[in-house]
Amino acid sequence: MWPTIVITGRPNVGKSTLFNRLVGSRDALVNDQPGVTRDRREGVFSIGDLRFRLVDTAGLEDVFDNTLSGRMRNQTEIAINDADLVVLVIDARTGNTPLDKHFAGWLHSKSVPVILVANKCEGSFIRSGEHYEGYSLGFGNPLPVSAEHGHGIQDFYDTVVKRFSSESILKYNELEEPVNSEHLKLAIVGRPNAGKSTLINALIKDDRLLTGPEAGVTRDAITIEWNYQGYNIALVDTAGLRRKSRINEVLEKLSVKDALKAIQYAEVVALVVDGNNLMEKQDLSIARHIIEEGRAIVIVINKWDLVNNKSEAVNFLNDRLGTSLSQAAGTNIVKLSALTGRDIEKFMPAVLKSFEVWNQRISTAQLNLWLSEAIERNPPPLANNKRNIRLRYVTQPKARPPTFVIFGNRPEDLPNSYLRYLENSLRQKFELFGTPIRLNLRKGRNPYN
């Protein structure tokens, strides 16, 4: 396991900007509004051949109750307690605030070493030397850095390396991360307050993510590495997705963009639905987007223990999917309670089943046997000029999702209703449930067709 470095400080000092600079990506949301980061975000950054585990935190606030701010502070404290090194970030332009001084004193009571970084030091501000005011916090001379522009990052690297003996760094880096033959990126999505973060906490058996009665607690798309029966799972928690017409704030737009990107790069997407508000219009819209992106899908009905008439709810759900989302018919549906853990063990088998189908390849011989049977049961209709449409050959060029190409003489004249018939027949024949399928038509090269 690599050394763990935790970035902390009061809100709006540039912690997430520094995190993005060090890991070389824009994973963490950045905005001028204080308190953008809520959950701990982890990444890896390198100094030469050395690797470090980097943790971005919500920061430190003088709150200890069970409010959202209090729960955010608790998450930060957990991260600091597990750290090998803490990076305390201050805003050099505002100088030492009472909150900076309060938490500097708190960090002095910890046994973990601390590096003080004075952020937002650009241009002439560094030459003025005003950032040295941070010296009074008791962690030595602050490192002048501009996380946004990259100034002072090399000095930061040198200081980090000096804080660890060369022997200890080499010992950390020689312990390789476990290598698994199977990898799976699993995104958890849904409307606000459906229980996405609670589901992940229940899976990993740790209160790793902030949860609460407030809608929209999660903002960033947070990735958590988890091992399940030999699978190296990247669990991605996302912000709740509301209808576009209800999204006004810039920060929420950034959160939604982050969630949509998580769907794009996932392999399996679990759509979490509130059991008390089954498959509303927005749930269907999210499901369609998952299918359009070509991701395997699992539908999770959360809070199932609170549903009074379960048989009526199941009938409604099946009818809703059949009429409004035919592409998802037959999809794995898991009914559970993330809060109590009831039936949580059914979730991952459903995910792995959808993942298996998403990767499935079918032999050309089997496909052509299916095609001949499908045509025999229901021949293609006549084209506009009364000539027969002949479908001659089918093959699968790729999986992830399963993609098929049918060759014929007049594919452009084949009506959409017959294409839907072929897709449904193909799905039923080979049990391609829980994944979108792509069915493309190509004109044959035979000049006598």
Give the residue extent of every domain in the chain.
4-174, 182-358, 364-443
One of 3.30.365.10, 3.40.50.300, 2.40.70.10, 1.10.1040.10 is the CATH number of 4-174, namely 3.40.50.300
Least confident span in 19-23, 34-38, 293-297: 34-38
Query: Which of helix, strand or coil describes residue 144?
Result: strand
**If we measure between CA atoms, which residue out of 183, 425, 440, 434 comes closest to residue 291?**
434
Side by side, the strands of the sheet bearing 182-190 are: 222-228, 231-237, 182-190, 268-274, 296-302, 333-335
Query: Which of helix, strand or coil describes residue 436?
Result: coil
138: region left, alpha or beta (phi > 0 left; psi from -120 to 50 alpha): left
Residue 363 confidence (pLDDT): 95
Residue 410 confidence (pLDDT): 80
| Contact in structure between 43 and 222 (CB atoms under 8 Å) | no
Query: Rounded mean pLDDT of the chain?
Result: 83
**If we measure between CA atoms, which residue out of 188, 187, 184, 186 comes closest to residue 272?**
188
Q: How confident is the model at residue 131 (pLDDT cuts 50, 70, 90)?
A: low
- 4-174 and 182-358 have identical folds: yes
* CATH code for residues 182-358: 3.40.50.300
The share of the chain scoring above pLDDT 90, in percent, equals 44
| pTM of the model as a whole | 0.76
Return the CATH superfamily for domain 364-443.
K homology (KH) domain (3.30.300.20)
**If we measure between CA atoms, which residue out of 166, 203, 170, 172 comes closest to residue 188?**
203
CA distance 199 to 202: 5
**If we measure between CA atoms, which residue out of 346, 328, 352 comes closest to residue 230?**
352
Count Cβ neighbours within 10 Å for each residue of 106-119 and write b for 16 or more, e otherwise. ebeeeeeebbbbbb
Residue 374 confidence (pLDDT): 95
Phi, psi of 118 (to 5 degrees): -95, 105
Over range 78-90, report the average pLDDT: 90
